[in-house]
Amino acid sequence: MARQQRDDEHIDHAAWFQAQTQFSRLTTALPEAAVGNVAMEVVRRLAFRMPRFGEGEDGPDAAEIDRFCTALTAPDEDAADRIVRNLRRSGNSANTIYLSYISAAARVLGTRWEEDEMSFVEVTLASNRLFRIIRGLRHVLDQAESTLAGDGSRVLLALLPGDSHTLGIEMAANIFRRGGWHVDLSMGEGHDDILHRAETARFGAVVLVANVCADVGALTRLVVGLRIVAPVVPVVLAGKVLDTQDAAELCGVDAVLDDLDQAAEKLRTIADVAVRINLAHSTGRG
């Protein structure tokens, strides 16, 4: 029991549960095409991003990956999570468990989907389970992956791709700067461009500004991508999309900024809380 408790200290249970409930909401609240785009975002980001961290290590063979993929679509809700926990308890490294297994499984799932060997329901289910695993292990992943120096006073302020309403985000950038933030402003950039920024720089927070209420699906896909490329960075939502009921819960952000005058101060609180949580997970739990 003590061994299990020590292993469970690596898991962010709140993030795991949030990812699980988010996907459950998405399947009922968004059109099938939008849900499919989110599922493919998980598969694509994991398949083509993580393998580089496992280079030089003995990874799982094809039979092990097939077993893991089967668990990801099994009726047993916890089958894949048990595989990950058991691998950890057996002494496997973080790279092998959290990166090699997950990235290889994502590549297999993506191939099977493209070749119509898996149904939409199966791939969505598998993506959900992969996503909740990496969210639960986000602090371990961040420690294994990150070589970036952090800047707690730097924020990425990004306008949702396709949104042409720039006045609000420009006003917000000025307010953040007056509040002591160093602002990286992203306007008119694409989905992959924003994720590249978040992956290659260490921000204290990412603020997404969205004004087109019909784009909750695109917003959700972007947030999911951010969760994978920057696992411990708080993601915050602002803009008129907040007028859409449950938009923040559907896309899975950490917080919202609904008062521009208080935005800089509130964002500082959000970033400081994230730092304390990250520190708690990174000290004394290896």
Give the up-direction half-sphere exposure of residue 133: CA atoms within 13 A in the CB hemisphere. Answer: 29
Is the pLDDT assigned to residue 167 strictly greater than 60?
A: yes
pLDDT for the residue numbered 286: 39
**Predicted confidence band of residue 285 (pLDDT cuts 50, 70, 90):** very low
Beta bridge partners of 203: 151
Greatest CA separation for the chain = 56
Q: What is the mean pLDDT of residues 61-77?
A: 93
- For the chain, strand residue ranges (E) read 151-159, 182-186, 203-209, 235-238, 255-257
For 151-282, which CATH superfamily applies?
Answer: Cobalamin-binding domain (3.40.50.280)
pLDDT for the residue numbered 283: 62
Helix (H, G, I), strand (E, B) or coil at 10: coil
pLDDT for the residue numbered 92: 75
Is the pLDDT assigned to residue 186 strictly greater than 90?
A: yes
Beta bridge partners of 182: 154
Domain with CATH 3.40.50.280 in the chain: 151-282
pTM recorded for the entire structure:
0.90
Q: Helix H segments across 97-202?
A: 102-114, 120-136, 138-145, 167-178, 191-200
C-alpha 198/C-alpha 146 separation (Å) is 12
* DSSP label of 148: P
Q: Which of 42-51, 89-98, 106-115 has the lowest mean pLDDT?
A: 89-98
C-alpha 280/C-alpha 283 separation (Å) is 6
